[in-house]
Chains A and B, each alone.
Chain A
Amino acid sequence: MLHSQIQHEEIVERYVRKQLAPEERQAFEEHYFACDKCFEKVQVMERFIAGVHDLARRTALDDAAETGVSRSASGWLLWAFAGTAVATIALAVVTGWAFLHRIPMLKRELIAAAGTYQPQQPSVATLQPGPMPQANVPLVMLQASRGEQQTTAVLAADARQLVLWMEIGPTRYRAYRMEVYSASGRQIMTVDGLTRGPYGALAASLPAEALQPGTFRITLIGQSPPPASLVSEYRLQIRRP
């Protein structure tokens, strides 16, 4: 594998993110075992991606640098402080007026109006929105993966849930745990307490917003009675139209 190809095809990043085909991966491993420069690039990329992951998990990432921005903008600090002080005094005046004058007046008006409003309450309550029905809920039947075999689900932009249906053979377990991993091996979610339905299959729904386009690995682990062990593994590809 040549350095020009590694650079042009972003091999280092794709290797770290586990996006290379098996042959490419093997070829690149052979390369960096003999190349100090590329191995160093792999290490830097691992740290960089792990660092972004770590920061994104602990903060919103978008807000992560806010403290740094405010530190560098020290010239604005005095003006910002003065503005805040003026705003605080103004707020205190308005709040005092509201507590002493406006709120007692509104309370009196509310008590007066309560008698006429009360009879209407039951009909208003019936209009409160409950869980909304959803048409065309996406559903996929997972097939236990052999090699690179995977099931594909296409999620529309307005899909809120994806229903997974897993038919499994006889096992000694009554309850199962499902774990969902991203392509890089990060655990995205887990579903505990899965039991067979009337058709002998397992069914679970996952929030669609957590399933961005890409490939996911889903493991099904027999949970109860112990000891737990892996029952089957699935690969699920998510596409968005």
Chain B
Amino acid sequence: MPGATESEFVAGIQQGRADCETALYEKYSARVFYLALREAKSRQDAEDIRAETFLRVLQAIRKNQVRSAEALPAFILGVTRNVIRELFARRRKMADVVPAEEANLTIPSHEGNFIDQEVQVAIRRTIERLKPRERRVLRMLFYEELEAEEVARQVAIAPERVRLVKSRALKHFREIHRRLTSS
């Protein structure tokens, strides 16, 4: 059902149509998974959160508990947040009795979940196009996590120039990555 509206999703699911459930899942699944991964920083947890979220969303739609079809995206977001909160609450209780590593208290960054071969190739090709000073700007911004104003001061360029370097690099990266993933 490409291009279906939220009203059509809701009506179709309430009529018991499986294709509408699938289409709803396809439209929002990546968003729910991304938010879950960002918060929980574990693919396993993110998978669980996504499954639980869609279970609750579909049950709510079938029981006509969604306020309006237009509010469906906000409703799915709200359910996702609730499921994440519940996961953290369970984890806090576990912290009293379970080793930190098992309870996942030493939470790693979720950035590893976005690295694949295409990203590595695209970023390398993007960096190759830059001058040494521009590479330094990216390193300071995104690796050393300095503010743009601080980077501008240290590299002795205008803050606007920092933003320009960043947006150009991002544009190149997007184009290269798109070519790599579509080929």
Contacts and interface: CB of A to CB of B under 8 A. Distances in A.
Interface residues of B, number: 57
A33 B73 contact: yes
A82 to B, nearest CB: 26
Contacts of B145: 17, 182-184, 212, 214
Which of A29, A32, A42, A48 has its CB near the most chain B CB atoms (within 10 A)?
A48
A42 B110 CA distance: 14
**Is the interface on chain A under 10, 10 to 19, 20 to 34, or 35 or more residues?**
35 or more
A50 B15 CA distance: 43
A228 interface: yes
A229 B96 contact: yes
B108 A55 contact: no
Contact of B77 (A29, A55, A212, A229): A29
A56 interface: yes
A54 B100 CA distance: 26
A56 B123 CA distance: 11
Given A29-B77, A228-B100, A51 B119 contact: yes
A64 B127 contact: yes
B73 A229 contact: no
Interface string A194-222: 00000000000000000011100001010
Given A33-B31, A44-B170, A62 B106 contact: no
B128 A214 contact: no
A44 B178 CA distance: 10
B173 A51 contact: yes
Given A61-B139, A230-B100, A33 B76 contact: yes
B64 interface: no
Nearest to A41: B174
A213 B146 contact: yes
Interface string B95-122: 1111111010111111110110001101
Interface string B120-145: 10111111111010011011001111
B11 interface: no
B160 interface: no
A85 interface: no
A92 interface: no
A185 B108 contact: yes
Contacts of B28: 33
Given A50-B115, A186-B109, A230-B100, A62 B132 contact: yes
Contacts of B95: 229-230
A63 B16 CA distance: 58
Contacts of A49: 111, 142
B8 interface: no
Nearest to B92: A230
A204 B137 CA distance: 32
A236 B70 CA distance: 42
5 contacts: A29-B35, A51-B114, A51-B115, A229-B98, A229-B105
